[in-house]
Amino acid sequence: MGAPGIFGKDNAMPIPQRNLLRLAETIRRQLVLLRQGRYGEVAHRTRDLADEFARLRRLSDLLAICLGRGWEAAAATLSDRIAQGLHSLPYQASQVEQAVEACKLPDPAVREVLADLQQADEEFEDLRFDYDGKELVVTTEPIEMEDVYLGPFEIRLRVSAIGNVRRATLVYRIVALEPRPATSNSSVTHPHVSDGRLCEGDAGAAITAALSHGRVCDFFQLVHAVLTTYNPNSPYVSLANWSGSPCYDCDCTVGQNDVYWCHACENDFCDDCISCCSRCEDSICLACLEACTVCGERVCPSCRTNCPDCGRMLCQSCLEDGQCPCIEEHPENEENENERKDDESRSAASHEDSTDNAAEQVGTETS
């Protein structure tokens, strides 16, 4: 519960008609502050223009010195800089002119602001005021876009900040009442809302103008229109990927029908970051695949091993076929094999000689 105030104790409550007038007066005071800020803008823009003229005067003095001393190259450089400065003068002058014209806009009377508040109350039916946050609040209907249910939203206008409307997105915020954020980013509760800030798009200038003139009803209608219109060219998260999953490798959002599971690391991947094992044909991410040093095929951890002799990585098929390059790289292996065969031959011959000698001895004894 908020502290007692002119609009009651509840944080956000309907505004009695008798209190609308006091709210209109508060808004009117903010518009006066805004106009005073415009005069400050005129002074700021004029100072920038004067600084540019002063810079051009300094360049002119330097150019005169260069001409007097015959420094032609330096004079050419200074002339180019003067020309560049002249190009910026029309823009800076137009900025001063726009700031002056903005000061001439009359502030609306309190009765005009009151009429606009009454119109907003009729238009949205639930115009409320949050005393704690000094916010004027309306609630949208439940919003659904392209079969994605987003729920209702509150548009909260901070009345005490209208005087700083040059940054309109800091004057109001969007609150999801039934948050259904994007799977890939919990701060995005609407394709055009992130952390409570609305991406206004082409409506930005109109929203700022409405607040600058105290047209609160127009402000709420404009923001409501942005919330109920989907712009596929500038969403924080597109509706197509609203319920998708982030790719474990590149972090892009992947729709439910386009996500692939890696059998090795057991993470989700997009189509660009997934492949398959050349042996078992399971879906495997690119990071989990490694090329066999013999055949070059990219295989998963389950289908690769190491040569017991040299430790080289190769696929199971190449190991079973004895295709490891270490066989050819180490000829001593062949020599050892030949020596082993020679030893076996000598052993066999020795055994035959022993057998023959024994047979001769038996024959002699028999005789």
The pLDDT tens digits along the chain (367 residues) read: 333 333 333 466 677 777 888 889 989 988 888 888 888 889 999 999 999 999 999 999 999 999 999 999 999 999 999 999 999 899 999 999 988 887 887 788 899 999 999 999 888 878 898 888 789 999 999 999 988 999 999 999 999 888 775 665 678 999 999 999 988 788 999 999 999 999 998 998 899 889 888 899 999 999 999 999 999 988 998 888 787 777 888 877 676 667 888 999 988 898 889 999 988 989 999 999 999 988 889 999 999 988 888 888 888 888 888 888 776 655 555 555 555 556 666 665 565 555 555 545 545 554 4
pLDDT the model gives residue 268 = 86
pLDDT score, position 107: 82
DSSP for 60-84, please give it: HHHHHHHHHHT-HHHHHHHHHHHHH
- Residue 281 CB burial class (10 angstroms; 0-12, 13-18, ≥19): exposed
CA distances from 46 to 38, 86, 341 (A): 12, 16, 102
Structural contact between residues 197 and 204, judged by C-beta atoms closer than 8 angstroms: no
Contacts 24+ apart (CB under 8 A), 290-299: 292/318, 293/325, 294/318, 294/323, 294/324, 294/325, 295/323
What pLDDT does 167 receive? 62
- Looking at residue 336, its pLDDT comes to 54
Single-letter code of the amino acid located at 29: R
Residues 217/116, Cβ–Cβ less than 8 Å: yes
At residue 134, the 3 state secondary structure works out as coil
CA distances from 232 to 108, 229, 247, 255 (A): 37, 10, 21, 16
pLDDT (0 to 100) of residue 356: 55
Write down the pTM of the prediction. Answer: 0.59
- The 10 Å Cβ neighbour count of residue 139 is 18
Say if CB 24 and CB 113 are below 8 A apart.
yes
